[in-house]
Structure formats: C-alpha cells, structure tokens
Chain A
Amino acid sequence: MRTLFVCWAWPSHLYPMVPIAAAMRASGHDVLIGCPPSLVPVAVRTGLPSMAVGHDFDLGPVIQRLLLKAKPGASGPRRRDRNGTAPRTPLDSFSDTADAMADGLLEACRLWRPDVIVHDATTYAATAVGRALGIPTVRHLWGIDYTYLQREFEPVAFGPLYRRLGLDEVVVSGETPTLDPCPSGLQLPVDYRPVRLRHIPYNGSAVHDPGLLARSRRPRLCITWGTTSSRFGDDDPVLTMVLEAAADLAVDVVFATTGKEATPVALQPHWRTAVMQPLHLLLPYCDAVVSPGGSGTVMTGVMAGLPQVCLPLLPDQQVTADRLVASGAGLRVTPRDATRASVRDALEAVLTDARHADAARGLREDARQQPSPRDAARFLERLAAGCAPEEA
C-alpha cells in the first residue's frame, strides 16, 4: 500500500503522524511525506522519504497577532485580517495554506499515485484533492479535535478551492475518517466515530544527553514554550513570569527551549537548559510541566503521566487547557490576568496536590489502552482496499 502523509508547514503538525508513518514503512508499506518546501528539512529528518508539495504560505503574522492579543497589557480583541478588512471566517489562514498546497498536491498524487492520504487536521487541501482524484483521505489529529469545532466555517472558507477543483460540495471535517491519538478523557465530545490509536510522542530527534536525566531530591519542573509559541522569540513577558514564579519555589527546573527565545534573565544558575531536546526524552524525568498548552507538549506530558499548568496563548490552546482542567490533570492560568503569585500557586498545586498527579496517571493509563498504530495501519489497508469506513 502507498500512503501519502500530508502536512502544511509547521513541525508540530507533522510530528504526531511520524510514528505511524514510520511503523507502516517498517512493516513494508510505501510511505511518502508531502509538505511545503520550508518543512522538507524537518520531514527528511524523520528518516522517511519526502517531497515538496506546493509553496509556503507564512502563517507567522496571523499567529503573532493572536499571541499579542493573549498577553498581558493587550487591548481588546480586534478582528482584522492581512488586508485590514474583516475576516470572512476563522479559517481564512487555513484557506490560504490550502490554496498554496492544492496544485502541488494534485501533481504529487498524479506522480506518486497514493492509495490513501493521511493528513494533519488543518491541512484541508488534502481532503479537497483526495475528493477530486477519488483517493480516500483520513484526518490525523494532534490532540483535541479543535478543527471539528470550526467545521461550520469550512464550506465558506474552502468553497472557492473546491469549485476550482470542479467540486460542488465541500467535504467537512468529520465526514472522512479520523485517526485520533487523544485519550478519550481529554478529547472533546464529537458526533463521529474516530479510529483510535495510541499516541507515540515524537518531537524530533536528538542526541541523548544523560546529564539532563540526573535529578536531585527536589521536585523537577519542565518549563517549555514549545516549537510554536517560541517561533516568535523575543522577550515573552508570560514566559518571564513563569520563570520568576518557579524561582519562588524549592524546585529544580529544566528549561526546554528551541533556542529561539531570548535567554530569559530569570533563569537560575542551578537550573538546566535543554536546547532542542525532544520533550519525550525529558518529561519522563520530571514531575510536572508548564507550557502555553500546545498540543505536542500536552500530549507528551500526558504520555509521561505528568500534571500540567497551561498558560494558553492561542485559541486551540485555550480549549486544550480547559480539557486538561476538566480531566483533573492540569490547571489553567490565563496569561492576560496572570501574576507571578497566581502562576506560583498553580505550580505549587500541581507539584503537591496528589489529585493532579493521580488524574495525570489516569490519563496516561487511558492513553496506553488505545490500540497500537498497527491497528490503525490495518484500518488504512482496508480503506485503501475499498471497504467502507463503517465496516472497518
């Protein structure tokens, strides 16, 4: 079977699909990663063959505006898109990325002839191209199904693309099969039946640093701004506040950084800094994790059974944080209202209140009970063979 994995240009959207892609390759299937040129170097480093698809569309400015709005001192919400006009839907940025990928993806499919396309949930071009060419497509989630909450906007956002491809009707999220690695205790309620699989953390690869694993008797906290929130570097006042709050506690800290943030002044000399170390290598040696609540961090924390504190900056992070709070495994501090004291209290609570640790272990058990990627691969085989998803 030939499976094309498609993703637009950020690592956090590609990484969740890497373990199942590699597992399928290991069992003898042909696998190819298709992504815009700027992600190709990241894709090649997974060890899987890759192909540049379409061109890049820079979502940076849009995300940066969202981040600014979330931080302390921001003015009230302003809804303006890149041209200064009111946006049509919350999915405008994704219709831009879909437009940038669609033609390249059509060409890639004609050349490589995949039997099935698996795509990141926000890579909407894949669903459209798959429908146009009669190739089955499957959404792969990175955590909570945030995109499903926005499905009502898809017909407007992607109508022009579908029409350009000669299709009258937009295929909306949930109408195609969904591979879901999120434990049910964390996932949002949805109206479709997902194909569940166990989440295997992949946050890139690195050389193992045994020095980072050594711990003292003090509790150990991992502070990370992830790969997405840290793209916008500079001096993030929220991150500084978190570091200052941690300094108030008798804890050891591992600051996991992509190196893009300015080195925070609030770092204590005895803390460890892990530059570009994949989180799945660090978290098993920590007691709690604090982050903006990006899905890569949260899911890796779940698999390590850690309680978490989230300071959500982006809309999907806010929903993830709320789900984590509902599960008992985490606490949310809203950055705009956060103070050093409120962050410190939250950190202290997840490190000392056993209920959070218990709930986190429960989530991990839930996650470990999910079927292995092997079962998901069998589902894809049946789909490629033309069986209806319901029979699978």
Chain B
Amino acid sequence: MRVLFVSWAWPSHLLPLVPLAWAFRAAGHEVVVATQPPLLGTVTGAGLTAAPVGSALDHAHLLGNALRPLHPSDGAEAPAGTPAAQRPGRRRRLGLSVRLAEDMTDDVVRLCTSWRPDLVLHEPTTYAAPLAAAALGIPHAPVLWGVNFHAAAQAFEREAFADLCAQLGIEDFDSRGMAAVDPCPPSLQVPSQHPRLGLRHVPYNGSCVVPDWLNDRPHSPRICLSWGVTPQWAGTDDHAQASARQRELITTLAGLDAEIVVAVASRELLGGEPLPDNVRVVERLPLHLVLPSCQLLVSRGGAGSMMAAVAAGVPQLCLPQYPSDLMPAERLAGTGAAVSFGDTPPAPAAVRDTVELMLRTPSFRAAATRLRAEAERQPAAAAVVSQLADMARDFGRRPTDR
C-alpha cells in the first residue's frame, strides 16, 4: 500500500517518523514523507522519498513567538509553581499549529489526491494531515514522539481549526485517528483512553559518519549535555545572554572529573572563546550514537533527547526550559531514571551538585535500565507496520464515521 508520512519542518518532530518509514518500506510498501521545503534534505538524507508541502516559513521565529521560556532574560518570570496552562508562554491555544496547518493543508490535500495514499501517518502537531485525511476519507494515525504533553490540546482543536474545517467542507475531524502509535514506555506515558499501538522506540537523530573517538572507551565518566535543536534564545530570550549562561554551565560542569560532550546544532551558539580541556563540543552528531557511551544526559528534556536516552538506558537530568517541558520531565523523574529541576532556574553550581549526586547513586542507572527494558518489550516496528496496514485495509471495508 501507499503510506504518506507528514510533518511540519522541524527536525525533532520529523525525525521520529524515520524508522517507522523504513519499516514500512521494508515490508514492501511505498513510502513518501511530506514536509515543508526547509527539511526536504533531511528526508532525502534519511534515504526516504520527500514531497514538498506548504512553504518555507521562518519556523524558528514562529516557535520563538509560540514558546515563552520559563526563565526569560527579560526577567518577566512567572512565579514558581504557576500551572503550565496559566503561564504567559501560552499566548494563543494551538496558534502555531493552526498557522502551520494553514500553510500545509492545501498541498497535503493535493498530494493525497494525486498520489492516493492508503494510510496517512503524522506527527501530532501537524494538523494538515488529519484534516486532509478527514476531508478525503483516508485512514490516519498520529505517531507520538514521546511523553504526550500535547494531548491536553485536543480539547481546543475543534475551535482552533473551525475555519480550516469549513474551507475543507468538513464538520469535524479527529486528530487522534485510528490509534496513536506510541514509542513511549507505558510507565512513562500519560494515561489515555484512546487506542494505542505500542512501538519499540528506535531513536533516529540524523545520520552521520561515526567519528573515531566514539569507538574508544571514555577514560572518565562521559556526560552529554544536549541543546536539542529548539532555539533556546528565540523569542523574548536573547541569544548573547543564553550563550553566556550555557558557557557558564559548561565551565562549571567541567570542574567534575568527567568528560563533557556538548551536543549542539551549531558551535556558533557557544561563542569563540576556548572551553576547558575535558569539554568536547560536537556539532550535528546524532545523539543516539553518543548516548550509549554516556553515564548521564543533561538536557531540557525535549522529546528527541529524552527518548534517545531512554532507549540507551541512560539516566537523565532535566532542566526544563519551556512550560511544555515540565510535565514530561516530571513523568520521567517519576520512573526513578531522572531528576527534574522543574521550574527552578538551573543555577550552574546546583546542576553540578546534582550531576555529582546522580553519578554516585546507582538507583538512577538501575531505573534507566528498567525503563530501557520496558521500551524494548514494546512491539518492534515491523509488527506495528502489519497492524497499521491491517487497520487501514479494514477502514476501507466499513462505512466511515469520520
């Protein structure tokens, strides 16, 4: 069958779809991955067929406007303990998702009309996919990237997408589709009443030539500090100040007897001055290749980093940066595999002390190992492919209620 994957053009949203797309191809299905122009090369760089939908929006700017940092440089911080929903970061519910859907929906409809997919799979915030699929009667399902903090948004979808539904001539749509493909181990995931297809998570954080140093055993504990790809300095935050803060954190952590691997999208973020000898800055090195050799991951707890560390069985220290980071970090801490700073500002000395504590407390590693084992017990991609293909075939056989 023909299977269309759809994601808006942000790497942490697109990349988790890649291994499942490979599995569909290996089962003999035709696969096309549709995204906005900026990430077409990311799709073809994953060995997959890309299709352009929508336009080259300034995604960093859009995200910067949509997400207000928990600890902005302008000092207008929400008081500690403010529920995520009441923080000033929540500007307009689903505003970014609506903007993206407005950009992509027509092209997704056009692609579905010409290429006629039998199944549409999409990342959860790419509403162009379920909208187009609902308009054309094609079975669809979201593929989650991790802890589903986005689930709460479902209550607001009907209102947010009313205009787009009207344009498409549909009354309503169900973004949850046939079932959620869920790579998150159940003990970590938010409980949901909607059908779930568990998937053994295989991290894909991009492709590269494996550098030689990764094949040697580290001489001291290796700690990975990951920035992910979401721009921490965007919006109300300021690049220079964010950069200075990150340098201070790195320098403080370098005081430990450890090798600090700093994974960044671009080295430029850290300024030109030299860093301590035990710091290794790596640009665009996929995390899933680094983490197996690490004792600890320090990150904001974004889904891509968090899930890659879960798959590697590595304990995590989460330093949430945005309101949406809080709940996943809390859930991960609940498994015993992580410590979360919650909305406490991550003072470098406090972060260093926590890292030190985590390195000498075996329970974190033990919990991370249990979590990895739980993740590995989830059905492998090939099995999920069979299930989804069966569901898509059945979908065509009965009158649709969508």
Contacts and interface: CB of A to CB of B under 8 A. Distances in A.
Do A and B belong to a common assembly?
yes
Interface of A: 18-20, 22-23, 25-28, 32, 40, 44-52, 111-112, 198, 200, 202, 204-208, 210, 213, 278, 281, 284, 368, 372-374
Contact of B209 (A51, A200, A368): A51
A14 to B, nearest CB: 11
B46 A210 contact: no
Given A27-B381, A44-B209, A112-B215, A208 B289 contact: no
A208 B26 contact: no
B209 A46 contact: no
B40 interface: yes
A68 to B, nearest CB: 34
B28 A26 contact: no
Interface string B115-147: 100000000000000000000000000000000
- For B202, B208, B209, the residue with the greatest tally of chain A CB atoms inside 10 Å of its CB is B209
A373 B47 contact: no
A284 B43 CA distance: 21
Interface stretch (B14-22, B268-276, B314-322): B14-22
A310 B18 CA distance: 36
Interface of B: 18-20, 22-23, 25-28, 30, 32, 40, 43-52, 111, 114-115, 200, 202, 204, 207-210, 212, 215-216, 286, 289, 376, 380-382
Contact of B380 (A28, A112, A204, A368): A28
Contact of B47 (A198, A202, A210, A284): A202
Contact of B45 (A23, A45, A200, A284): A45
Contact of A207 (B40, B204, B207, B216): B40
A204 to B, nearest CB: 8
B28 A25 contact: no
Nearest to B20: A26
A111 B216 CA distance: 7
Given A27-B382, A28-B380, A208 B47 contact: no
B50 A22 contact: no
Contact of A23 (B22, B50, B52): B22
A27 B23 contact: yes
A22 B46 CA distance: 10
Contact of A210 (B18, B114, B210, B382): B114
Contact of B114 (A200, A213, A374): A213
A112 B30 CA distance: 33
B47 A47 contact: yes
Given A46-B47, A208-B32, A210-B114, A26 B207 contact: no
22 contacts: A22-B19, A23-B382, A26-B382, A28-B200, A32-B210, A44-B207, A44-B208, A45-B44, A45-B47, A46-B46, A49-B210, A205-B44, A205-B45, A205-B47, A205-B49, A207-B40, A208-B32, A210-B114, A372-B26, A372-B28, A373-B26, A374-B26
A207 B53 CA distance: 11
Nearest to A20: B26
B19 A25 contact: yes
Contacts of A46: 46-47, 207
A204 B47 CA distance: 6
B376 A28 contact: yes
Given A22-B47, A47-B47, A198 B28 contact: yes
Nearest to A49: B210
A207 B44 contact: yes
The 4 closest A-B pairs by CB, nearest first: A23-B26, A47-B46, A22-B22, A111-B215
Contacts of A27: 23, 200, 202, 380-382
B289 A49 contact: yes
A210 B115 CA distance: 8
A10 B216 CA distance: 29
A47 B25 contact: no
Contacts of A368: 28
A286 B168 CA distance: 33
Contacts of B30: 284
A44 B202 CA distance: 18
**Best-surrounded residue of A49, A213, A278, A372 (most CB of chain B within 10 A):** A49
A48 B47 contact: yes
A75 B289 CA distance: 54
A111 B211 CA distance: 11
A46 B25 CA distance: 13
Contacts of B45: 44-45, 47, 205
A50 B209 contact: yes
Contacts of B202: 25-28
Which among B28, B32, B111, B114 has the greatest number of chain A C-beta atoms within 10 A? B28
Given A20-B26, A28-B380, A49-B208, 18 more contacts: A19-B25, A23-B23, A23-B26, A26-B381, A27-B380, A27-B382, A44-B45, A46-B46, A47-B47, A49-B286, A52-B209, A111-B216, A200-B25, A202-B25, A208-B50, A278-B49, A368-B28, A372-B28
Nearest to A23: B26
Contacts of A23: 22-23, 25-26, 381-382
B221 to A, nearest CB: 21
Contacts of A200: 25-26, 28
Contact of B50 (A32, A112, A205): A205
A207 B50 contact: yes
Nearest to B111: A210
A284 B116 CA distance: 14
A25 B50 CA distance: 20
Pick the most buried of B26, B44, B286: most chain A CB atoms within 10 A of its CB: B26
A338 to B, nearest CB: 34
